[in-house]
Each structure stands twice: as C-alpha cells, then as structure tokens.
C-alpha cells in the first residue's frame, strides 16, 4: 500500500498540481493538511474528479486557516470528524499530549519551517512543535521498528506587544498624485533565520521599483508608495494598522502588491480583488 502526506497550504492553490500528481504517483491513501476549506467545500471544489479516480473522501476544516482531508482508494470506515476534547467529539477520553509536525518547507536545511499553529475554541491546549525534515525522517524510521518515546522541551513564549512602525516612502504621481499604488515587503522575520529571503529580498524588490522608475526617468501617473511592513509574521499588525489609518482615503488606494515569495526569478503575479478593481487596473495601467 502506498500512503502519502502533503501539506498543501490551500488545496485551491494546489489543485492544478494535485490531480496530475495523483495520476502520476497513484497513492492508495493521501493525507492532506492545511486544506483551508470548510467540510462541504472540498467536495464542491473537486466535483467528480476524486470519485472518478476511485477515491473516497473524508474532510474536516475551516475556510481560512486549517483543515485536513483523507483520500482513500481502500475505503473509509468509522470516520470521526473533530478534535479530541472539542464540541461533539464522541471519545472525550481520547487525547494527545503533544503534537509534532514535520517542517512545512520543501527542503532539508536542518531548520524547521514551523508554519502557524492555532487552537480551536473550547479545546484543551497542548504543546505543539515542528521538527526539521531530517529529524522527521529519523523518527519515522525508528517508529517503523517499534515504539518511540520523545522528551519534548519547548522554550517559546508570547511576550507583550512592543511599539514599532512600518517604513513608508512615496514617489509622487504626475497626474493623479492622490491615488496610490503600494509596492511592499515586510521587515520582520522568523526567529531561526536572518530574514534575508523572508523578507528582506521583498523589501529590496519594493525599494528597487521606485529606484528604477527614477533611474529610467519615468513619470508614474499615480503615487507609488513603498512600504516595509512590520509584524507580518506574528499577526500582521503593521498591515492592519495601516488599513485602519487610511479609511478616509481607502478609495484612493488603487492596488497593493507585496513581494514575499523569496528571491527567485519572478514568474508573475497572484492577484485577489473584485472584478471592478481588476477592470480599473486593466483599463488604466
């Protein structure tokens, strides 16, 4: 039997890759994490695609943050959807004392990419941690030989908020200076790294936009606003505070771009927005 796991980090985003991967690898059971879809939306998204491939599906999740799904070509029996200790969970005595997650990153660097961890309302909070890919492989190898016991020592703590700031610079537009296009990255970083890729590289890209416009002697119609956001990794307080501060001028913000996907060769844009907003950009770019 071939069993596979995949932290998809939004199954909607991975759908164009997921279905061809199923066809190529032919796993019997697939465990998907971070689907970011409510229970009924998973079946709606896939339609008959999974059933046509012989997979039964069990899913449990939320629309924005979490979610898991099991795809099985060997059947699904006695499916229980919920969290131990959570509302409606039938086996209140069933519980975990801690949770370990293999690094969410795709590379083996001896450093874990922790992802994000949240507790559902009303459940007992337990320790949770990420382990590097190499350590996860070692644990899996040992577990295949018998029982594995771990001593888990966690030192992270949540400290009180401290005052900080976004860094903002404007390159005034020639025709519509009151209309704003934001280009941005974020200043803060994960604690295990220097922040060079996540996201000093993005801040550098945003700064270079204004620099190149000046070097090329271009005259943008609208104001280009370069922003280095604070607190992106730990809750997005910099972005939320900015949003709250511009309510009186929100309609004048035409678009906002953030570079936060590393320092590789750019291949395009990923956009969110209403059709009206996209039409305005296409018409007057």
Nearest C-alpha neighbor of 170 from the set 62, 97, 249: 249
34 is catalytic: no
38: CB partners within 8 A, 6+ apart: 61, 62, 63, 67
The sign one gets for the Cα dihedral 108, 111, 116, 122 is positive
Which one from 49, 179, 232, 233 is the annotated catalytic residue? Answer: 232
Task: Give backbone dihedrals phi and psi of 210, rounded to 5 degrees, phi first.
Answer: -65, -40
Nearest C-alpha neighbor of 189 from the set 250, 232, 225, 146: 232
Nearest C-alpha neighbor of 281 from the set 196, 273, 53, 17: 273
Nearest C-alpha neighbor of 175 from the set 223, 215, 230: 223
* CB distance 234 to 187 below 8 Å: no
What is the C-alpha to C-alpha distance for residues 142 and 217, in angstroms, rounded to an integer? 62
In terms of DSSP bridges, do strands 222-229 and 176-186 run parallel, antiparallel, or are they unpaired?
parallel
Question: Which residues are known to be catalytic?
Answer: 232
């Amino acid at each position: 039997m071939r069993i596979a796991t995949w932290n998809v980090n939004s199954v909607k985003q991975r759908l164009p890759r997921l279905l061809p991967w199923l066809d190529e690898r032919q796993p019997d059971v697939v465990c998907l994490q971070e689907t970011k879809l409510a229970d009924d939306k998973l079946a709606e998204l896939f339609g008959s695609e999974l059933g046509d491939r012989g997979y039964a599906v069990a899913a449990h999740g939320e629309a924005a943050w979490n979610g898991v799904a099991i795809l099985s070509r060997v059947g699904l029996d006695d499916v229980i959807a919920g969290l131990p200790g959570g509302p409606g969970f039938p086996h209140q005595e069933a519980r975990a004392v801690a949770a370990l997650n293999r690094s969410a990153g795709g590379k083996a660097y001896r450093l874990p990419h922790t992802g994000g961890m949240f507790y559902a309302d009303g459940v007992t909070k337990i320790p949770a941690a990420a382990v590097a890919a190499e350590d996860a492989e070692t644990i899996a190898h040992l577990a295949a030989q018998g029982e594995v016991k771990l001593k888990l020592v966690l030192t992270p703590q949540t400290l009180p908020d401290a005052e900080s700031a976004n860094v903002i610079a404007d390159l005034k537009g020639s025709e519509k200076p009151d209309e704003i296009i934001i280009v941005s990255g974020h200043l803060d970083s994960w604690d295990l790294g220097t922040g060079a890729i996540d996201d000093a590289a993005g801040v550098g890209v945003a700064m270079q936009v204004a620099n190149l416009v000046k070097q090329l002697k271009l005259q943008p119609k609208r104001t280009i606003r370069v922003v280095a956001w604070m607190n992106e990794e730990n809750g997005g307080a910099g972005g939320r505070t900015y949003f709250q501060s511009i309510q009186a001028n929100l309609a004048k913000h035409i678009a906002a771009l953030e570079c936060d996907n590393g320092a590789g060769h750019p291949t395009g844009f990923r956009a969110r927005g209403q059709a009206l907003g996209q039409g305005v950009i296409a018409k007057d770019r």
